[in-house]
Amino acid sequence: MWGRNVKHAANYLKRCSISTSLGISRSEGRAVNSNDVSDYNQALPFEDIPGPRGIKYLGTLHHYMTGRLDKYKYQDILEEYFSKYGPIFKETLFGSTIVHVCDPKMFEVIYQDEGKYPEIEPLVEPSQKFRGEGDLSLGLGNSNGEKWYNLRAIVQKSMLKPAEVSSHLQIINEIANDFVDKTLHKGYSDDFLLDTSIWKLESGGALSFGKRPGYLECGSAQEMEAMKLVKMVDNTFTLATDLKFSFPLYKYIKTPAYKALLDSEQYINDVTSVYLSETLKHIETELERTDDFNDIQNTYRFLYSLLGHKNLSKKDMEVIVLSMFIDGLRTVVPVLISVLFCLSQSPRVQEKLFTEIYNVLEDRKYIAASDIAQLPYLKACVKETFRLYPIGLEISRINQNDMVLGEYKIPSGTKLNLNNFVLNRDPNIFANPEAFVPERWLRGSEHAVDAHPYLLLPFGRGPRMCVGRRFAEQDLYVLISKLIQNCEPHWTGEKYEHQFKILVYPACPVKFQFKPRQSSSK
Ligand code: HEM
């Protein structure tokens, strides 16, 4: 349960409260949370880190395989471990030991160790294998070291520069307008997860290929393609979760689950590849036909910005475009759903948000970057949603230097998972933690929370911070603004439940009714 008692951890945090600004504390003469060598020598051995006991080498894998532990409720299992073992514990699954860390002071020490090339374990290991064996580029999330760095340097310019991101607002607005019209026309949805997934594919496709794929057209072949893509992405995440908690035979032979995952990955890759080839051919023809580069640049903005990099191979370009096209399905979409769910449960917040949006936009249909800058309450609503319904359970790091975390030696090369989410409903940090109170994140508000800067990091931080962050936020801010500007969402589903499928995803039918706002209420 998300709001489980965190007494054990809270006691620990109190014990360590005499910290320096570096996040280094002293307890009983021993260093806690430090990357200082002399502290390392005095720290407790790695083996003493608590955690669930398992069978030698196999660890706790058998509990997941026999169903004693429900892998799809991994979020609850981690919370339970946290309340049992405290803010640092370890778990082994078939020879692979992960140290779980649940304390912002420890996060700070880990991030300070990152250096130029922060190292990670891939989020979806079987996908990394699929890409490696298929002679495809691994992409950012599956690579480390210099290879990662060089690709990141290129992608960063096209994906994180605010002006570059907001230059796509025209198409993002158009798509959001069409989606809102469609949603209002129907007035309800019994599968808003699918509806918003199709919206996200339309926006990801338009950004990637400079042309709308046409996925919002009801009953079209394009809509069928979008549905199949959604299904294939879903398969990939479900199968990757099954593989994560089973004997990793797939690393040696093509097990049925791995084969099914390959088929899903292949379909997604093939669709992207066809669109990309067609678009590149089109750009080439246009460049031969006309001298009006501005027009081409405006239409194919994202691809054009990538084409400017001489060192970018076609394979690398393919994986970046794939990420832009598809990654929002398991990230932006569940966040959007959770924001709307929270708003539907809190008429006070919804009304306040509507007032903010209406004051800025009135009835305007185009949202500019300068409008988004004037919507602090909207941003606070999204941030508060990340607190209540995080989509990721961990940020992965492999430390490159020996360090001390919570009094224990952590030798370099240890797999660390930063499980910030377990603190999100801690009553010692957040007053009335189950309540949706966006004011917590507004400076000057009486509800403003004095949280450690490393506590809530939905996009991570540092050189490996989510590269899609600005696009994701822009998509969310535009669509939420338009929906709330035009209608009141009412949750008509049952209990809002989630499951772990590598990321956290709604586990229940997502149903809403959308009541149009009367002009008199504006
Ligand atoms: C609400 C939406 C999203 C959230 C909460 C989110 C969160 C994250 C987080 C936590 C990381 C790991 C950061 C770290 O290791 O420090 C990450 C990495 C990444 N994200 Fe996102 N993400 C979102 C949307 C997207 C979208 C839409 C895209 C693509 C357009 C994207 C592309 C990536 C990539 C490529 C990486 C790997 C970056 C690297 O290793 O250099 N993300 N994301």
Residue owning the nearest CA to atom 42 of ligand 1: 468
Q: What is the pTM of this model?
A: 0.94
pLDDT at 311: 84
CB 233 within 8 A of CB 326: yes
CA of 317 to the centre of ligand 1 (A): 17
Single-letter code of the amino acid located at 71: K
For tokens 């993002």, what's the residue? 172
Q: Is 487 annotated as a binding residue?
A: no
For residue 169, pLDDT over 80 is answered with yes
Q: Where are the beta strands (DSSP E) in 185-337?
A: 188-189
- Confidence band, pLDDT 50/70/90 cuts, at residue 519: low
For ligand 1, what atom is nearest to the CA of residue 386? 5
Task: Report strand pairing: 96-101 vs 88-93.
Answer: antiparallel
Residue owning the nearest CA to atom 19 of ligand 1: 466
Q: Report the pLDDT averaged over residues 199-208.
A: 98
Q: Report the pLDDT averaged over residues 6-23.
A: 40
- Check if 283 has its Cβ closer than 6 Å to any atom of ligand 1: no
For residue 299, pLDDT over 80 is answered with yes
Output 258 or 135, whichever has higher pLDDT: 258
Residue owning the nearest CA to atom 40 of ligand 1: 141
For residue 522, pLDDT over 80 is answered with no
Query: What is residue 332's three-state secondary structure?
Result: helix
Our mutation pick for probing the ligand 1 site, out of 466, 467, 503, counting the most ligand atoms within 8 A of Cβ, is: 466
- Check if 458 has its Cβ closer than 6 Å to any atom of ligand 1: yes
Summary mean pLDDT of the chain? 92
pLDDT at 335: 98
Distance CA 278, CA 36 (A): 54
- Check if 467 has its Cβ closer than 6 Å to any atom of ligand 1: yes
Half-sphere exposure of 371 (CA within 13 A, CB side): 21
Q: How far is CA 464 from the centre of its chain?
A: 13
Single-letter code of the amino acid located at 65: M
For ligand 1, what atom is nearest to the CA of residue 397? 15
For residue 21, pLDDT over 60 is answered with no
For residue 214, pLDDT over 80 is answered with yes
CA of 185 to the centre of ligand 1 (A): 33
Distance CA 244, CA 238 (A): 10
Query: What is residue 217's three-state secondary structure?
Result: coil
Residue owning the nearest CA to atom 28 of ligand 1: 468
Query: In a 10 Å sphere around its CB, with 0-12 CB exposed, 13-18 middle and 19+ buried, how is residue 436 labelled?
Result: buried
pLDDT at 23: 41
Q: What are the helix (H) ranges across 290-412?
A: 293-299, 301-307, 314-326, 332-345, 347-361, 369-372, 376-388
pLDDT at 26: 47
For tokens 């499928």, what's the residue? 501
CA of 140 to the centre of ligand 1 (A): 10
Query: In a 10 Å sphere around its CB, with 0-12 CB exposed, 13-18 middle and 19+ buried, how is residue 61 labelled?
Result: buried
Our mutation pick for probing the ligand 1 site, out of 209, 336, 459, counting the most ligand atoms within 8 A of Cβ, is: 459
For residue 453, pLDDT over 70 is answered with yes
Distance CA 456, CA 327 (A): 21
Count of Cβ atoms closer than 10 Å to residue 150 Cβ: 14
CA of 516 to the centre of ligand 1 (A): 34
- Check if 140 has its Cβ closer than 6 Å to any atom of ligand 1: yes
CA distance to 205, 210, 214, 306, 390, per residue, from 283 (Å):
16, 10, 20, 13, 39
Q: Which residues lie closer than 8 Å to 238 by C-beta, 6 or more apart?
A: 501
Closest alpha carbon to 303 in 330, 277, 331: 277
CA of 465 to the centre of ligand 1 (A): 7
pLDDT at 29: 59
CA of 461 to the centre of ligand 1 (A): 10
CB 383 within 8 A of CB 456: yes
Query: What is residue 365's three-state secondary structure?
Result: coil
Closest alpha carbon to 117 in 467, 454, 394, 464: 464
Q: Report the pLDDT averaged over residues 442-457.
A: 95
Q: Report the pLDDT averaged over residues 52-77.
A: 96
CA distance to 117, 310, 486, per residue, from 151 (Å):
12, 12, 41
Q: Report the pLDDT averaged over residues 429-435.
A: 97
Single-letter code of the amino acid located at 10: A
Residue owning the nearest CA to atom 37 of ligand 1: 141
Domains along the sequence of the chain with CATH: 8-122+394-422 (3.30.43.20), 145-392+458-516 (1.10.630.10)
Q: Where are the beta strands (DSSP E) in 406-509?
A: 408-410, 415-418, 487-491, 498-501, 503-506
- Check if 335 has its Cβ closer than 6 Å to any atom of ligand 1: yes
For tokens 């955690």, what's the residue? 51
ipTM score for this prediction:
0.99
- Check if 328 has its Cβ closer than 6 Å to any atom of ligand 1: yes
For residue 490, pLDDT over 70 is answered with yes
pLDDT at 292: 82
Distance CA 322, CA 317 (A): 9
Q: Which residues lie closer than 8 Å to 311 by C-beta, 6 or more apart?
A: 150, 154
CA of 468 to the centre of ligand 1 (A): 5
pLDDT at 1: 40
Residue owning the nearest CA to atom 6 of ligand 1: 459
Least confident piece of the model among 79-83, 295-299, 432-436, 495-499: 295-299
- Confidence band, pLDDT 50/70/90 cuts, at residue 28: low
CA of 323 to the centre of ligand 1 (A): 9
